[in-house]
Amino acid sequence: MIQKEKEKKLALSLRKQGFSYTEILKRVPVAKSTLSLWLRSVGLSKQQKQRLTEKKLSSIKRGWAKWRQQQIDVTEKVKKAARADVKKISERELWLIGVALYWVEGTKQKEHSTGRGVLFNNSDPAMIRVFMKWLRDVMKIKEEDIGFEMYIHENHKENINRFLDYWANVVGIESKRIRAYFKKNKVKTNRKNIGENYHGLLRVKVRRSSVLNRKISGWTDGIVDNIAGWCNW
C-alpha cells in the first residue's frame, strides 16, 4: 500500500508538470485504468495542454510518415518485380505499343476532317521517349519531318530556356528545334506537376502525315476487332 502511495505521488507530480499518460506509465508501472483514476482531478495549465497537444500531433505525424514509407517500400518492391516481367520488347510489340499510345494521346482522324496529320501531346517524358522511339525506329519517320512545340504557362516565362533544354534532352535534339508557346489559362491549384515537377507539355508533329494517321486509325480498329473476337462482343 505504501508502495502504491509512492507511485501515486510520483504520478501526480509528473502530471502536474505536464507529462502525458504514456510518459507517466513508462516511469510508474501501474494499470492505465488505475492511473486514470489517480489523475482525473488534476488540472493542467494552458501551456501544459498545448505541450500535450503538440506531442500528440507529433506522434501522429511520425506514425503517418512511417506508414507512408512502408507504402513506398511495398510499391517499389512490387514495381521491381513487375519491371522484370516485361523482358525484351520486339519490334512488333513496340509497334502495337505506339499505336495504343497514339490511340490514347494523339489527334484522331474525324469524318469531317480526314486530312489531319500526326500530333501527339504529353507532359510525361517517359511516354514522349517511347513515342519518339516508335516514330524513328518503327515508322521510320525522317528527322526533318518531325517538329516540336512546347506549351508552358505564361507565369513560367523566366524558365523558358531551362524547359527547352529539358525537352530537347528528352527527345535527343537541339533546343532550337522546339517552338515555345505560352498558355494564359489559370493553373489549377490541385495539380501535382508544379514547382520542380513542372516542365510544361510537348507536342510532337509529323509533317505530311495524314496517311500515317489514317493507318493508325485502321490499326486501332484492327486491335478492337481482334479483341472483340476473343470477348464475343
Extract the residue ranges of the chain whose pLDDT is less than 50: 1
Helix (H) or strand (E) run with residue 102 in it = helix 91-105
What pLDDT sits at residue 220? 94
What pLDDT sits at residue 45? 61
Extract the C-alpha cell encoding 198.
Answer: 513542372
What pLDDT sits at residue 174? 97
What pLDDT sits at residue 37? 81
CA–CA separation, 44 and 16 (whole Å): 7
pTM across the whole model: 0.70
109-154 pLDDT, tens digit per residue, is 776 666 789 999 999 999 999 999 999 999 999 999 999 999 999 9
CA–CA separation, 195 and 219 (whole Å): 38
Degrees, nearest 5: CA angle 41-46-48: 75
The answer to whether 141 and 170 are in contact (CB under 8 A) is no
CA–CA separation, 159 and 202 (whole Å): 15
What pLDDT sits at residue 188? 58
- Nearest by Cα to 202 from 129, 104, 96, 111: 129
CA–CA separation, 33 and 12 (whole Å): 14
Q: Report residue 49: phi and psi, to 5°.
A: -65, -40
What pLDDT sits at residue 22? 80
Residue 181's alpha-carbon distances to 37, 53, 150, 157, in angstroms, are 70, 50, 6, 10
CA–CA separation, 114 and 133 (whole Å): 26
CA–CA separation, 17 and 3 (whole Å): 21
Q: Residue 147 in 3-state DSSP? A: strand
Residue with cell 496517311: 211
The answer to whether 104 and 121 are in contact (CB under 8 A) is no
The answer to whether 134 and 168 are in contact (CB under 8 A) is no
What pLDDT sits at residue 4? 79
